[in-house]
């Protein structure tokens, strides 16, 4: 834990998971280039191992590291420790503004702890709504709580800005910036390879040469149980085709790992590998034919590289991708999953329509816009 001592206003960015780190590292870099305030970072390590990968790649050394990760932690225990731990950091640093991203427990508790101290909150990726508090769970309620507290809402799209307006957020507090994940993606895609895991994917691309690679990610809490079992069954049937290979970075959750290994572990053209560092994940997006995922971020990232996305969820807080045609909601019904995947494999016109659809999630300038707005608000 380090402490910088300056007389400048302090901006504290709080995050705890790999997706937050990916979406916030361009913001932290943009803020750090400004001279009128001090940029501090606090990580909670809600996801320790997966977070550290991104910190190393982005060359971010947190000023505060709460290291809260515990195996099989319950949401109520995690929330209590987050509130208490973040609160102590806020009392020590007394920042002029707190920045949180998205809809994690860390983001919600960071906003709530700041509110308890009447510290203004900026919300990156604001206004996402599925309008179902149990899908995704608990993220839908987390982001609504943050939306109630924040006074700067950085909406990635007009759709998310409209959702905030409907909740009576003042128009002058809403800024449509695009999504910072596109900034992160373009920064990473244009970097020379720096990954420790580079030798994992290259042999797989060689091994699966001539096959259409389907990239798979699945980890959502609401899919645990029947949903995940259905997904695993559909993937097994897909993998029976001799023109297909699956590359599946398997989430660290032991429930996910058990179900997937039971269903897919004996198939030669399915590569179940450890979670990828971010540059390798970008490499997978480049090399895959399309993605099957229940992740939020992949719905934004894959279209930026021209790859269709089948969203294995019943709802999405990113309807822009579905409306634009870059993504399709397919739920977790085995037959629907199979039929939609087979269409992308066999119907070239359908594939190209999705691959060439315009990505509605941004142009790579969101972080600079956010830093500009925060800097101007401190000066006023």
User: CA dist 101 to 22, 92, 104, 165, 201, Å?
Assistant: 10, 22, 8, 19, 30
Residues annotated as catalytic are 103, 125, 139, 219, 221, 251
- Is residue 324 within 8 A of residue 356, CB to CB? The reply is no
For the packed helices 139-149 and 105-116, what is the interaxial angle rounded to 10 degrees? 30
Q: CA-based angle 242:245:247, to the nearest 5? A: 170
d(CA 280, CA 286): 10
Tokens of 277: 């560092």
Instruction: List, in sequence order, every residue forming a beta bridge with 310; answer none if it has no partner.
Output: 292, 328
Q: What count of Cα atoms within 13 Å lies in the side-chain half-sphere of residue 57?
A: 31
Task: Supply φ then ψ for residue 311, to 5 degrees.
Answer: -95, 110
């Amino acid at each position: 834990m380090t402490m910088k001592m300056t007389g400048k206003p302090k901006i504290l960015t709080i995050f705890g998971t790999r997706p937050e780190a990916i979406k916030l590292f361009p913001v932290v870099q943009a803020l750090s280039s400004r001279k009128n305030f001090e940029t501090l970072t606090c990580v909670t390590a809600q996801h320790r191992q997966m977070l550290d990968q991104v910190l190393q790649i982005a060359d971010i050394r947190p000023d505060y590291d709460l290291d809260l990760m515990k195996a099989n932690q319950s949401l109520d225990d995690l929330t209590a420790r987050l509130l208490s731990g973040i609160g102590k950091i806020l009392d020590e640093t007394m920042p002029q503004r707190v920045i949180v991203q998205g809809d994690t427990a860390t983001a919600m508790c960071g906003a709530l702890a700041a509110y308890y101290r009447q510290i203004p909150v900026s919300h990156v990726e604001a206004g996402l709504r599925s309008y179902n508090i149990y899908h995704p769970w608990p993220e839908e309620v987390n982001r609504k709580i943050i939306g109630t507290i924040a006074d700067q809402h950085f909406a990635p799209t007009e759709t998310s800005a409209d959702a905030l307006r409907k909740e009576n957020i003042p128009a002058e507090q809403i800024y449509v910036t695009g999504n910072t994940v596109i900034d992160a993606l373009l920064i990473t895609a244009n970097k020379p390879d720096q990954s420790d895991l580079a030798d994992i994917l290259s042999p797989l691309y060689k091994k699966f040469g001539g096959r259409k690679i389907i990239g798979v990610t699945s980890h959502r809490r609401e899919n645990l149980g029947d949903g995940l079992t259905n997904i695993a069954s559909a993937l097994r049937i897909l993998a029976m085709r001799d023109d297909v290979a699956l590359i599946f970075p398997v989430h660290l959750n032991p429930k996910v790992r058990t179900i997937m290994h039971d269903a897919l572990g004996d198939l030669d053209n399915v590569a179940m590998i450890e979670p990828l560092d971010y540059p390798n994940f970008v490499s997978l997006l480049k090399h895959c034919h399309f993605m099957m995922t229940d992740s939020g971020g992949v719905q934004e990232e894959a279209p930026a590289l021209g790859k269709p996305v089948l969203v294995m969820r019943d709802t999405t807080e990113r309807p822009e991708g579905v409306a634009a045609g870059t993504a399709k909601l397919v739920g977790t019904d085995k037959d629907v999953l199979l039929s939609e995947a087979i269409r992308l494999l066999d119907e070239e016109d359908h594939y190209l329509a999705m691959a060439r659809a315009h990505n509605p999630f941004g142009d790579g300038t969101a972080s600079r816009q956010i830093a500009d707005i925060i800097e101007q608000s401190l000066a006023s």
